[in-house]
């Protein structure tokens, strides 16, 4: 295929992948779509340890979604952690399961599968001793230490449902998640570390509990050992409660559909939604996609440098790699600490073979120059992955040419919190790539494009990206609000899963994700809803109305721009903006920052009072000429004022 970069020899050599060529892809993909039950039952029986093997694949589906939810492997029983831990005691007990590097370069821990098993068992016993039981929800609010993964696995092992909250979230965000999930237990640590600074996780946990209430147990892992406030009635040290617990524990066997975890994610409206993943489907899908897309080999050192607080960390640091018996890397620090060579230094020292990161990090590193890369030996690398946002051609080119020296293949993996695992992506040894395209669907995934009128588009086209049939890794519901799940994902196009993304299909059938078409923004791979910002801004007595949109940003992918209608005259704009950003930080977290404030006389509204957000979006994107029809606006003059508005960068 012209324009496509073929798979380098280094990547194809010795592959045992199910899919090793485009012929394989054609055949296997077609079979998986025509006979999904047969395909997935085979995959799961071969790779996942079941207590009772399932005989049923998919039950229900998108066509009957309004009447009943779909299920996968519903007559099977298992516990996902048996595949992640116990399974490997026989074949690879002394293989490193988790390779951890701390904030300071060279501070390393290696945990073998045997040790991981013992530690997960100990902590499972400790949780059960404290009365935590199957179905209970547990909040995990920790930094990037191996104990975060151990806590996740221990919860899952006893049938409890973990909800990991990213360590950058504020007390109020933690409180919201405690309340929504109805958790009684929080697992946290004294402090996290990041780029030489400490993050007061225990302190923030205390503040969150003061807001939310309802928590009777807080388990604290000691990391920095700096002093923390202590509440004797509620707080327990991790190291103390595991002291007398056994290193053996029998996993609680649950139904395939038993919830494995809840992970909150932002949508275009309202509060973050608790996405519910299940034991059987999720573990099958993450394990399958992990070994297939990255072409996993037994001696690989797999490095995904995401955070366990996001879905990427759940699926491709913890569950997928461990289910496959891989050595998985956990990283506490940042790509720029102590300098822009950190990743490549670690490639050299640890011999990473597969490296998976976000375009925002690639852009930030490319901007620091090639010398930081050239300084280190990267010959161990075979596959490079990206995830989280569309990758621009310059960043892709740099990753391919400078980091990979054109000897690695690049897998641009498209997926979402809701999809559980990778859905559209090259398969390392098989797919010729084009920079910027996520290429082709994985087995079991059938993408469709629709226009705004809801008509299915064939061939070369651009439209709304939907997936037409269920796959095992999909979320089953929004915790406590199934109607919202149906409304959000299955009402835009009837009986289709609508992703929220726009997408183009080219003449080769390759998919190019163009970005969100709803009011979700993606800042440095952090997904946020513009409505979350707007709700916070209008709490200020200075602000009458606010419209928040994303705008293209060189490093972060998208920046945040707020259009403000003032309620009062402002004497000191600068301090108003600082205080508004402080409010966002307190309410959402450290990653929620508005980059650009613009004061406007009024929001663009229709005669019926609906805000035409498209106008704000197009102005922010620097394409006001593309805002389309504005004749339904109550006051068309406001558009000029918005285009000409004075903007302030902070
Ligand atoms: C949104 C999902 C999937 C783990 C991290 C993000 C965007 C994700 C790509 C990609 C273009 C991408 C989409 C998607 N996205 N991967 N390879 N190319 N866009 O998970 O926080 O649930 O966000 O991230 O817009 O809808 P998430």
Give the β-pairing of 327-331 and 96-101: parallel
Of all protein residues, whose CA lies closest to atom 27 belonging to ligand 1?
416
Give the C-alpha separation, 228 to 309, whole Å.
23
Is the CB of residue 387 below 6 angstroms from any atom belonging to ligand 1?
yes
- Tell me the longest C-alpha to C-alpha distance in the chain: 73
| 36 touches ligand 1 (CB under 6 Å) | no
Whether pLDDT at 398 is above 70: yes
Q: Could you tell me the strand order of the sheet in which 477-478 lies?
A: 235-237, 217-221, 185-189, 137-141, 161-164, 259-265, 273-278, 477-478
Confirm or reject: Cβ of 265 under 6 Å from ligand 1. Answer: yes
Ligand 1: centre distance to CA 387 (Å): 6
Among residues 505, 521, 407, the alpha carbon closest in space to that of 456 is found at 505
pLDDT at position 404, please?
Answer: 98
pLDDT band of 383, cuts 50, 70, 90: very high
- Which residues lie across from 564 on neighbouring strands? 546, 599
Which residue has 């366990």 as its token pair? 308
Cβ atoms 647, 597 nearer than 8 A: yes
pLDDT given for residue 649 in this prediction:
85
| pLDDT at position 610 | 87
Per-residue model confidence (pLDDT) at position 1 = 60
CA torsion sign, 125 to 130 to 132 to 137? negative
- Per residue in 229-241, pLDDT (tens digit) is 999 999 999 999 9
Which of 127, 125, 93 lies closest to 112 in space, CA to CA? 93
526 Cβ inside 6 Å of ligand 1: no
One-letter-per-residue 3-state SS of 468-510? CCCCCCCCCEECCCHHHHHHHHHCCCCCCEEEEEEEEECCCCC
Is residue 292 within 8 Å of residue 324, measured between CB atoms? no
174 vs 180: CA distance, rounded Å: 10
Q: Which residues contact 602 (CB under 8 A, 6 or more apart)?
A: 545, 565, 635, 638, 641
CA count, 13 A, side-chain hemisphere, 102: 14
- Residue 353's nearest CA partner among 415, 413, 304 is 304
Residue 253 CA, chain-centre distance (Å), reads 27
Quote the CA–CA distance of 107 and 615 in Å, as a whole number. 50
pTM: 0.96
Classify burial at 485, counting beta carbons within 10 Å of its beta carbon; exposed 0-12, middle 13-18, buried 19 or more: buried
Q: Are the beta carbons of 51 and 255 closer than 8 angstroms? A: no
Residues in Cβ contact with 211 at an 8 Å cutoff, skipping those fewer than 6 apart: 171, 172, 175
Residue 422 CA to ligand 1 center (angstroms) comes to 10
Q: Determine the angle formed by the axes of helices 573-587 and 171-181, rounding to 10 degrees.
A: 30
Q: Is the C-beta atom of 501 inside 6 A of ligand 1?
A: yes
Pairing outcome for strands 77-78 and 383-387: unpaired
Going from the Cα of 158 to the center of ligand 1, the distance in angstroms, rounded, reads 31
pLDDT above 70 coverage of the chain, percent = 100
3 state DSSP class of 173: helix
**Residue 270's pLDDT band (cuts 50, 70, 90):** confident
Average pLDDT over residues 454-470: 98
Least confident segment among 30-39, 249-258, 264-273: 264-273
Name the residue at shortest CA distance from atom 23 of ligand 1. Answer: 416
490-524: pLDDT as tens digits: 999 999 999 999 999 999 999 999 999 999 999 99
- Give tens-digit pLDDT for 588-633: 999 999 999 999 999 999 988 888 999 999 999 999 998 888 888 9
- Closest among 117, 484, 34, 36 to 281, alpha carbons compared: 36
Q: Is the bond preceding 338 in cis, omega lying within 30 degrees of 0?
A: yes
Q: 113-138: string of b/e by CB count within 10 Å (b at 16+)?
A: bbbbbbbbbbbbbbbbeeebeeebbb
Q: Could you tell me the CA-to-CA distances from 199 to 193, 203, 220, 332, 494 in Å, in that order?
A: 6, 9, 14, 12, 45
Cα gap 249→243, rounded to integer Å:
15
In the DSSP assignment, the letter for residue 540 is S
SS3 state of residue 101: strand
Q: Which residue has the higher pLDDT, 309 or 267?
A: 309
Q: Length of the chain, please? A: 650
Which domains are present in the chain? Answer: 9-499 (3.40.50.12780), 520-649 (3.30.300.30)
What's the pLDDT at 160?
99
User: Using a 6 Å cutoff on CB, does residue 171 contact ligand 1?
Assistant: no
Q: How confident is the model at residue 60 (pLDDT cuts 50, 70, 90)?
A: very high
Which secondary-structure segment (H or E) carries 641?
A: helix 638-643
Give the atom of ligand 1 at the shortest distance from the alpha carbon of 525: 6
516 CA: nearest ligand 1 atom: 25
CB-ligand 1 contact for 309 (6 Å cutoff): no
pLDDT tens for 151-190 read 999 999 999 999 999 999 999 999 999 999 999 999 999 9
CB 355 within 8 A of CB 347: yes
Nearest CA to ligand 1 atom 10: 414
Decide: 414 in ligand 1 pocket, CB within 6 A: yes
């Amino acid at each position: 295929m012209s324009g496509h970069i073929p798979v380098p020899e280094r990547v194809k050599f010795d592959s045992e992948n199910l899919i090793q060529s485009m012929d394989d892809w054609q055949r296997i993909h077609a079979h998986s779509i025509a006979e999904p039950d047969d395909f997935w039952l085979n995959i799961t029986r071969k790779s996942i340890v079941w207590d009772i093997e399932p005989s049923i694949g998919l039950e229900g589906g998108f066509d009957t979604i309004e009447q009943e939810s779909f299920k996968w492997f519903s007559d099977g029983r298992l516990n996902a952690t048996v595949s992640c831990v116990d399974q490997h005691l026989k074949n690879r007990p002394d293989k490193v399961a988790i390779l951890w590097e701390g904030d300071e370069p060279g501070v390393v821990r290696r945990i073998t599968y045997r040790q991981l098993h013992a530690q997960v068992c100990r902590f499972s016993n400790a949780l059960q001793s404290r009365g935590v039981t199957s179905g209970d929800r547990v909040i995990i609010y920790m930094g990037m230490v191996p104990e975060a993964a151990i806590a996740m696995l221990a919860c899952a092992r006893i049938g409890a449902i973990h909800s990991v909250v990213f360590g950058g979230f504020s007390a109020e965000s933690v409180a919201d998640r405690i309340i929504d999930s109805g958790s009684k237990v929080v697992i946290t640590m004294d402090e996290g570390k990041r780029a030489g600074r400490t993050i007061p996780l225990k302190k923030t946990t205390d503040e969150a509990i003061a807001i939310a209430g309802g928590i009777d147990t807080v388990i604290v892992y000691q990391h920095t050992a700096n002093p923390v406030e202590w509440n004797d009635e509620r707080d327990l040290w991790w190291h103390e409660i595991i002291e007398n617990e056994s290193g053996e524990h029998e996993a609680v066997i649950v139904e395939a559909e038993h919830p494995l975890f809840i992970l909150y994610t932002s949508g275009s409206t309202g509060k973050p939604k608790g996405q519910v993943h299940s034991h059987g489907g999720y573990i099958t899908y993450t394990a399958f996609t992990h070994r297939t897309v990255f072409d996993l080999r037994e001696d690989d050192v797999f490095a995904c440098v995401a955070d366990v607080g996001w879905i990427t960390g759940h699926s491709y640091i913890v569950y997928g790699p461990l289910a496959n018996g891989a050595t998985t890397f956990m990283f506490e620090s940042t790509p720029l600490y102590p300098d822009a060579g950190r990743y490549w230094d670690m490639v050299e020292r640890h011999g990473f073979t597969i490296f998976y990161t976000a375009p925002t990090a690639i852009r930030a590193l490319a901007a620091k120059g090639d010398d930081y890369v050239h300084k280190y030996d990267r010959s161990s690398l075979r596959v490079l992955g990206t995830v989280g946002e569309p990758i621009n051609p310059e960043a892709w080119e740099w990753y391919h040419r400078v980091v990979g020296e054109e000897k690695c293949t690049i897998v641009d993996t498209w997926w979402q919190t809701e999809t559980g695992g990778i859905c559209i992506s090259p398969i390392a040894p098989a797919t010729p790539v084009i920079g910027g395209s996520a290429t082709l669907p994985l087995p079991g995934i059938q993408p469709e494009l629709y226009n705004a009128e809801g008509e299915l588009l064939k061939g070369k086209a651009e439209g709304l990206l939907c997936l037409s049939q269920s796959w095992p890794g999909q979320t089953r519901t929004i915790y406590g609000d199934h109607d919202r799940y149906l409304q959000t994902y299955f009402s835009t196009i009837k009986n289709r899963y609508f992703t929220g993304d726009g997408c183009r299909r080219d003449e080769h059938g390759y998919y190019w994700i163009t970005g969100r078409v709803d009011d979700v923004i993606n800042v440095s791979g952090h997904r946020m809803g513009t409505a979350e910002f707007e709700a916070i801004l209008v709490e200020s007595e200075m602000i009458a109305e606010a419209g928040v949109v994303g705008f293209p940003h060189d490093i972060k992918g998208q920046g945040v721009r707020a259009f403000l209608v003032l309620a009062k005259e402002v004497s000191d704009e600068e301090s108003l903006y600082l205080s508004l950003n402080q409010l966002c930080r307190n309410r959402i977290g450290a990653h929620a920052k508005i980059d650009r404030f613009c004061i406007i006389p009024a929001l663009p509204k229709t005669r019926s009072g609906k805000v035409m957000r498209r106008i704000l979006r197009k102005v922010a994107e620097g394409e006001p000429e593309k805002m389309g029809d504005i004749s339904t606006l109550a006051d068309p003059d406001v558009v000029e004022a918005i285009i000409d508005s004075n903007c302030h960068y902070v």
